[in-house]
Amino acid sequence: MFRVDFVATHASANPNGLALVDLESGRRWTYAQLHASVGAVGEWLLSEHDVRGVRVATLAKNCAEMVILHLAAARGGAIFVPLNWRLAAKEIEALVEDAQPALLLHDPDRVPPAGAGRNMPITELLQVADDGWDGCPPHVQREFEETSLILYTSGTSGKPKGVMLSESNLFWGALNFIYGYQLDRSSVALCDMPLFHTAGLNAITRATLQAGGSVLIARGFDAPKTLQRLTDPELGVTHYMCVPQMAMRLWNEPGFEPEKLQKLVAWAVGGAPSPRAQVQRFVEAGIRVSDGFGMSETCSNFGMPAHDLEVLMRKAGSCGLPFMALDAKIADDTGQELRHGETGELWVRGPCVSSGYWNQPEITAKAFQDGWFRTGDAALRDDDGFYYIVDRRKDMYISGGENVYPAEVEAVIAEISDVAECAVIGVPDETWGEVGRVYVVPAPGHTITVEQVLQHCASRLAGFKQPRSVVVTDVLPRTASGKVQKHLLKLRAAEEDATGE
């Protein structure tokens, strides 16, 4: 049996180093204390619940207990399954039915879903952690190549899938993030991305702990609080990660002062491509915003070199270079690699890539082929080796025989300073087959007109790429990880067209 236990390693080498802080309660753990808490919970899982080889789930907002439970589950031989608490009750019940957890820990104010089996408030876990540990390792641990985590995908276009990740996948994914974003023992990372998502749990939290740094767990994203924490010299945050619309919210937040954020070693942005204009705003202000790319299925894969402001500016719009433990290619439908500058599907392989989907062998067989994972993203690579995510392939629409990638149109609209965010979809058209419709959210305190958007697009885009209709709206439907749910926008568009609104 082989397994990497980075908490135990740092507890020996740096026992008094700060490992974990729960910003809501103020409680702090050194590496020695975290090692003891994880050990105590791991023993409890084995002795009280016999979790060997079974699933242990959570339905809770971010808290230190989730981090401790995640690490303890692996020590106790269990598979950790953090569920998306933002879903509707029926959706959560479907995930529980699929995962079949033996134990579910939940927020005290949340009713456990039907079929959850044994359950308890997650707040009681700290008492278990504080009861003490004799220092003996659990007799059962997840082996390095065994599944130890199931993450359910965001479900931007339908039913979520349970991604199976091993300790080996997680180790290599964290190593990618560590080397890509210069994490080390001196790093302090703020995590307010949800811990049921790969960015929160794997990229920020696990990578920081694996590097021996300190991770600050926030209950969730709150623009004023997040900005205050990022600029608080006592917290000393060096690393942050968010999705593009969170970055834009912070930019528009009253009191946003770029000079206070120039100390950040890296501000990683992922989950969706950032508009080039948005990246350039941050970089021009001296903030090391680094676009990257990763997925639940692949952990951390690409990133821009955050140390080089000139490259960040020149290559704005790119998700960067492949990290160390990753092979990547741009392929056609047969898997043949395309030339630089040609758009195809992004395929990746490496030790950070999942083995497949829980209980879904047919979907697994389609997505994972000959060691490669087909991401479903349309992408290209330039002559310098930098990769660009053009769009999700399923979001592409065909107008008059020409392929249109909504992300390209969205990037142009994002140049308008009055726009906070936007989303483009294809809608049916009798003449062209499909044409674009854009949903636009004005920036706080600003207004935007249909004519402004159309005129700007006409000056920057070929005719077939220009949207034919614009809807100004207050909000875009998003998943918990921040991705726009375009299938819901298409339903809305169909209703608008049917009613003539």
The burial class, CB within 10 Å (0-12 / 13-18 / 19+), for 465 is buried
Classify residue 296: in a domain, yes or no. Answer: yes
Classify residue 140: in a domain, yes or no. Answer: yes
Shared domain for 199 and 228, answered yes or no, is yes
Contact 365, 401 (CB under 8 A): no
Calpha distance 319→326 (Å, rounded): 14
Shared domain for 145 and 215, answered yes or no, is yes
Sheet containing strand 28-30, strands side by side: 28-30, 18-22, 214-217, 188-191, 239-242, 266-269, 289-295, 299-303, 321-322
Bridge partner list, 28: 21
Shared domain for 327 and 473, answered yes or no, is no
How many helices and strands in the chain, by DSSP H and E? 16, 26
Classify residue 393: in a domain, yes or no. Answer: no
How many structural domains compose the chain? Answer: 2
End-of-domain residue from the set 327, 359, 387: 387
Contact 70, 201 (CB under 8 A): yes
Shared domain for 414 and 310, answered yes or no, is no
Bridge partner list, 331: 337, 345
Classify residue 392: in a domain, yes or no. Answer: no
Shared domain for 278 and 188, answered yes or no, is yes
Structural domain boundaries, residue 462? 398-499
pLDDT at 395: 82
The burial class, CB within 10 Å (0-12 / 13-18 / 19+), for 28 is middle
Classify residue 1: in a domain, yes or no. Answer: no
Centroid of chain to Cα 360? 22
pLDDT at 156: 46
Shared domain for 263 and 367, answered yes or no, is yes
Contact 471, 495 (CB under 8 A): no
Calpha distance 240→177 (Å, rounded): 12
CA-wise closest residue to 14 among 213, 239, 188:
213
Written as six digits, the tokens of 198 are 């790969």
pLDDT at 158: 53
pLDDT in tens, the chain (501 residues): 567 899 999 999 999 999 999 999 999 999 999 999 999 999 999 888 888 889 999 999 999 999 999 999 999 889 999 999 988 788 889 899 999 999 999 999 998 888 788 999 999 999 998 887 777 766 567 788 999 999 998 654 456 799 999 999 999 999 999 999 999 999 999 999 999 999 999 999 999 999 999 999 999 999 999 999 999 999 999 999 998 878 988 999 999 999 999 999 999 999 877 888 899 999 999 999 999 999 999 999 999 999 999 999 999 999 999 999 999 999 998 999 999 999 999 999 999 999 999 999 999 999 999 899 999 898 999 999 999 998 777 787 878 767 787 888 998 999 998 999 999 999 988 888 889 999 999 999 999 999 999 999 999 888 889 999 999 999 999 876 677 888 899 899 988 888 876
Contact 456, 412 (CB under 8 A): yes
pLDDT at 32: 96
CA-wise closest residue to 162 among 147, 177, 176, 141:
147
Residue 262, SS3 per DSSP? coil
Q: Count other Cβ atoms within 10 Å, centred on residue 160.
A: 21
Strands 79-82 and 103-106: unpaired
pLDDT at 478: 84
Strands 18-22 and 28-30: antiparallel
Tell me, what CATH number does 481's domain have?
3.30.300.30
Tell me, what CATH number does 313's domain have?
3.40.50.12780
Classify residue 463: in a domain, yes or no. Answer: yes
End-of-domain residue from the set 387, 408, 430: 387
Q: Count other Cβ atoms within 10 Å, centred on residue 126.
A: 18
Shared domain for 37 and 13, answered yes or no, is yes
- Where helices occur in 50-105 by DSSP H, the ranges are 64-75, 89-99
Classify residue 468: in a domain, yes or no. Answer: yes
Shared domain for 199 and 239, answered yes or no, is yes
Shared domain for 419 and 351, answered yes or no, is no
Shared domain for 415 and 324, answered yes or no, is no
Calpha distance 159→181 (Å, rounded): 33
Predicted structure pTM score: 0.84
End-of-domain residue from the set 368, 387, 406: 387
Shared domain for 457 and 366, answered yes or no, is no
pLDDT at 157: 47
Classify residue 169: in a domain, yes or no. Answer: yes
Shared domain for 272 and 352, answered yes or no, is yes
